[in-house]
Amino acid sequence: MLRFLTAGESHGASLIGILDGLPAGLKINKQLIDQDLASRQKGYGRGARMKIEKDKINILSGLRKGKTIGSPLALLIKNRDFKINVLPAIICPRPGHADLSGALKLNTKDMRDVLERASARETAMRVAIGAICRIFLGEFNIASLNHVISIGKVCAHTEGMSFNQIDRAAERSPLSCADKKAQAKMMAEIDKAKTEGDSLGGTFEIIVKNIPSGLGSYAQWDRRLDAKLAAALMSIPAIKGVEIGAGFSGACQRGSEIHDSIFYSREKGFFRNSNNAGGLEGGMTNGEPLVLRCAMKPIATLRQPLPSINIKSKRKTKASVERADVCAVPAAGVVARAMACFCIAQALIEKFAGDSLQELKRNYQGYLRQIRAF
Ligand SMILES: Cc1cc2nc3c(=O)[nH]c(=O)nc-3n(C[C@H](O)[C@H](O)[C@H](O)COP(=O)(O)O)c2cc1C
């Protein structure tokens, strides 16, 4: 069972992760992990913190000569902005953040204790863990991308673009947006929100291709891959909606319009000419690309803060202003791709089992042969 835990506060000494359950024999390319960490840091509209941090992964255990040895990987990312012990108390909770509920829960009048961990700084370690899962999935030719679909009310149009076209265009874009025209409008929208002391949310899409049919399960609620993916994506701070395939728009169409008819040819085996299911049917992959979309709410910290209450005096005040992003939708997309890669790696290891990569690949190849001969 592939699993992970993270620890670390936003302005603590470092972020820590333990990834347990990878097979032995997987070559880990540290550069690829650092690349993903750098992608999470980029994005037009990020705050000053991302200029301070230069995230790099340190792998402290579980590797020998650059390959996994079947033991847990211990991971560390140092925080340059380590100052948790000298930061002031926070007593005016921000609407939309964890501050107030966390303070009531911990019975503390200093909400710094809450926001230091509730901060999305934690997601840097998730990206590192997801990058390792991505390296693992690469051994099975499984590829993924993330790209921004909308920021505020500005929408990108990528209809008709191939996986590779979207991937390349999004990688070159400071907003991970594959539509250049929309990107310019999004940047203007971010500038406007910034000048007005406001913030923006948006939506993004994850696509994962070359996954065989049959990962996940229909047999128990907690073994359905759609449920696991939705939970993993919803666990990302500020993600308030997850859609699989046609999702919400599918709900207002007829069955005959939405379901992906089944075809067969000797070369391709079973296939579909549409993918409204987003690659998942009955809690299992169906061989088509996974298409997942997430909605991110606008950032809670506003330079023109909303009304709040001083939790000590109980007087009316304005919410605290912390250094913050104006828009973090591109970064959230990187985190979401990492979480999706983790879930798929977990489902793949669950189905094909094996203590070594070789054993897992043998089981995997055997299954592909079985499907081809079906
Ligand atoms: C990559 C990323 C960066 C974020 N940056 C900020 C930020 O700078 N300021 C802020 O108030 N919220 C930021 N958030 C959102 C908060 O972490 C989140 O709204 C908060 O933890 C409350 O959780 P909830 O929105 O899921 O209810 C960010 C989220 C992500 C995914």
The closest alpha carbon to 346, from 252, 225, 193, belongs to 225
CATH of the domain at 51: 3.60.150.10
Dmax of the chain from CA atoms? 74
Burial 56-84 (b: 16+ CB within 10 A, else e): ebebeebbeeeebbeebbbbbbebeeeee
Could you tell me the residue range of the domain that residue 48 belongs to? Answer: 3-372
Other C-beta atoms within 10 Å of 268: how many?
9
**How far, in Å, CA of 198 to CA of 82, rounded?**
27
| Inter-residue contact 193 to 326 (CB < 8 Å) | yes
User: Which atom of ligand 1 sits closest to the CA of residue 324?
Assistant: 8
Mutation test of ligand 1: which of 39, 55, 199, 299 has the most ligand atoms closer than 8 Å to its C-beta? 299
User: Which atom of ligand 1 sits closest to the CA of residue 323?
Assistant: 8
Mutation test of ligand 1: which of 119, 234, 327 has the most ligand atoms closer than 8 Å to its C-beta? 119
User: Which atom of ligand 1 sits closest to the CA of residue 94?
Assistant: 11
- pLDDT for res 52: 86
| Residue indicated by tokens 């992906």 | 260
Q: Tell me, in angstroms, the distance from the centre of ligand 1 to residue 7's CA.
A: 17
Ranges in the chain, pLDDT < 70: none
- pLDDT for res 69: 98
What is residue 169's three-state secondary structure? helix
Rounded to two decimals, the pTM is 0.97
The closest alpha carbon to 144, from 36, 216, 54, belongs to 36
Burial 223-259 (b: 16+ CB within 10 A, else e): ebbbebbbebbeebbbbeebbbbbeeebeeeeeeebb
Q: Does the beta carbon of 237 sit less than 6 angstroms from any atom of ligand 1? A: yes
Overall number of domains in the chain: 1
**How far, in Å, CA of 172 to CA of 176, rounded?**
7
**How far, in Å, CA of 46 to CA of 190, rounded?**
10
Q: Does the beta carbon of 15 sit less than 6 angstroms from any atom of ligand 1? A: no
Return all residues near 89 (Cβ < 8 A) that are at least 6 apart.
Answer: 109, 110, 111, 112
Q: Does the beta carbon of 129 sit less than 6 angstroms from any atom of ligand 1? A: no
**How far, in Å, CA of 221 to CA of 58, rounded?**
36
Q: Using CB atoms within 10 A of its CB, is residue 31 exposed (0-12), middle (13-18) or buried (19+)?
A: exposed
Q: Does the beta carbon of 295 sit less than 6 angstroms from any atom of ligand 1? A: no
| Residue indicated by tokens 């991971």 | 75
